[in-house]
Amino acid sequence: MSPAPNDVIEALLNDAPDLLRWSGAVARKLRSFNIALEGKSSGNANTDALTLADLTVQELVVAGLRDRSPILRECRIEAEEENGDLGAFRDEGELTIALDPIDGTKQFRDRTGNGYSVMLHLRTRDDVLFSLVYCPEDGPTGSWTMAYGDTLKCGPDDLSLSAQECLQAMPNIQSSGRPDSRKIYLIGFQKNDAANAEKVTAAGLEGFPPDETPGSIYPLLATGQFGGSLIHSPNIYDYPVSIQIARILGGDSVWVHNGEPVHFEETWMDDRASMLRLPGIVATADSPEKLKILVDLARDWNPVRYSD
């Protein structure tokens, strides 16, 4: 029997902030060294980037989740890399903790920006229940994005406080005072990211391919600097955080071919990138109006990720 979701959320509220802050500090230090690794061959540089930091951070976070609260071991765990004591967690169950040790690895590895993050979320087969994203170099001290229930927070880290105290003191984001951005992040369309971003702009929004997006999409979406995303076959380690943010803000995340809300009943293993993905193209937006534009635009686009 799976543990009660609220009990797991409470454990993550207590334990995950420290783990992500410590892991972010390790990642920031490792970034000063040549730590690139081989291992992925999808043909997309944003997907194939892999570093020693990915493996080190995952080892640390998985061990911390294993050791800090016994209830966390009663959940399934899905992690983008294959290392760490993943066997300490349940093989089956209603609750899944998913981990992306370094989201934005290409930018991290190539030192082309500071929008990388350490992140995890808790989900069921139908919904995302808790999300925590730490961007170690977003601003002078790093930044947090956190979501659970009706709570959505985003702001700078305060190193004079514990990570948990910093998040507790951070005010909630109110939809009424948040900017109404029409910027949309695109990724996963292989060589067509930029061309498809132009189509989004022509449809009345503002499309941004990965290399033109000024940071991690999660704080950008939470704070209203971006209004959504359009992703081909998103992976299940980082993208689901967008679902929770969008739904808290009054929007949603849906498959463009049928407009139905995203769920996690069906996934596929992308052997080229060594990661689990959702099928097809997914649109996410903070309002129904933007979501409709994205769905109408991309409904007939090719749902197959690779052409060969």
Residues making up the binding site: 80, 100, 102-103
Q: Annotated binding site for Mg(2+): which residue ranges?
A: 80, 100, 102-103
Contact 39, 47 (CB under 8 A): no
From the CB of residue 211, how many other CB atoms can be counted at a distance below 10 Å? 14
Secondary structure (3-state) at 224: coil
Contact 102, 53 (CB under 8 A): yes
CA distance 96 to 282: 21
CA distance 36 to 293: 39
To which residue do tokens 């800090």 refer?
68
From the CB of residue 90, how many other CB atoms can be counted at a distance below 10 Å? 15
CA distance 161 to 151: 20
CA distance 48 to 20: 23
CA distance 237 to 120: 7
